[in-house]
Structure 1
Amino acid sequence: MAGTPYEVTVDPRYSRPGAEPEDWTATLDLLATAQLYWLSTVLASGTPHVTPVAGAWHDDALWFCALPTEQKMRNLRTNPRCTMLTGTNVLGEGVDVTVTGEAVRVVDGAELEAAAQTFRTKYGPAWDYKVDGDLYQGAIGRAWGMRIAPRTVFAFRKDGVTQTRWRLAA
């Protein structure tokens, strides 16, 4: 995501007085280097569903893959709006980041291959997925490649207490 996001604010209700916004580049670096993310979707009943996923920041979006039969994928077919987050489970230090947007299945082979290379570089041999038509073929089977273009990104700094929000152009 080149340049400055469309709107940056610090929420004074959840930030120390005089807090400055988090650095956008550092936030993107955190999204790119995190090893684990949590994907939050909504069941048909309206109940939240949260599950851990491997992910990659690629082409200005968060990517993950999943089998079409998984609960998260059934949820996303009904309602593509979701949130993906990463950070630390330590209170009082670090930064947690959430990305909210709509998950879209990617079917273009060249796009899938470019994202697969990002996964391979990040995770190494554990991420052995190859593009097979409009799917990934790998250790878990034939998976869909999913892309979440961010609409809103939050960074929650726990040491120094700052909540930064970026609203991105739709």
Structure 2
Amino acid sequence: MPEQLRPQRRSRRVAMAPDEVDAYLAEQRTCRVATTSEQGPHVTALWFVWHDRAVWLYSITDSQRWVDLNRDPRVAVLVDSGHDYLELRGVEITGTAEVVGEVPRTGADQPELAEPEALFARKYFDLDAMPYDGRHAWLKVTPNKIASWDFRKMRG
């Protein structure tokens, strides 16, 4: 993680505190991942876990996202929710993606992946251990900026 995250400048009144960001990202299931392809912006929805102040993505290794991030590791990740205006909440993370572990992931011992894989297996598969399919590998997104909003804070 960078020495210090760039501070959020706008909308501080509705910004989430770090513990609120942690709780929100732990409960949400889907993020949008924005990369830059040779043709321009590319956005996909993906499952994720938030661990140790980083976004962990279990990505298909022959996806456009994987190609993009291997060419240019800069990435934006958006997680948002809410229907009515005063329910809107979200977190936008900009940072750098790096491959962690084997490609594709087959389950070889990788201590850095133990906790993200346990979280992912429980969150999405209701399992204690991660299932491997020989098509996915891990990307760790280290934030350089986190912007958040919780419009519920605007209620009188």
| TM-score bin, normalised by smaller chain | 0.7 to 0.9
Unaligned stretches of 5+ in structure 2?
102-108
1:122: how far off?
Answer: 1.9
1:148 maps to which residue?
141
Which letter does structure 2 place at the counterpart of 1:96?
G
1:74: how far off?
Answer: 0.5
1:28 maps to which residue?
22
1:77 maps to which residue?
70
CA contact (8 A) 2:8 2:147 kept: no
Which letter does structure 1 place at the counterpart of 2:98?
V
Paired with 1:19 and 1:66, the residues of 2 have a C-alpha distance of 35
Instruction: Give 3-state SS (helix, strand or coil) of 2:81's partner.
Output: coil
How many residue pairs match? The answer is 144
1:20: how far off?
Answer: 6.1
1:153: how far off?
Answer: 0.4
Instruction: Give 3-state SS (helix, strand or coil) of 1:69's partner.
Output: coil
Paired with 1:19 and 1:142, the residues of 2 have a C-alpha distance of 43
Paired with 1:81 and 1:7, the residues of 2 have a C-alpha distance of 15
Equivalence map 1:24-103=2 (5 Å):
24-45=18-39, 47-92=40-85, 93-103=87-97
Paired with 1:160 and 1:10, the residues of 2 have a C-alpha distance of 17
Which letter does structure 2 place at the counterpart of 1:122?
K
RMSD value, Cα: 2.6
CA contact (8 A) 1:8 1:21 kept: no
Paired with 2:14 and 2:147, the residues of 1 have a C-alpha distance of 14
Instruction: Give 3-state SS (helix, strand or coil) of 1:25's partner.
Output: helix
1:24: how far off?
Answer: 1.4
Percent of residue pairs bearing the same amino acid type: 24
Unaligned stretches of 5+ in structure 1?
131-136, 162-170
Paired with 1:79 and 1:150, the residues of 2 have a C-alpha distance of 15
CA contact (8 A) 2:6 2:144 kept: no
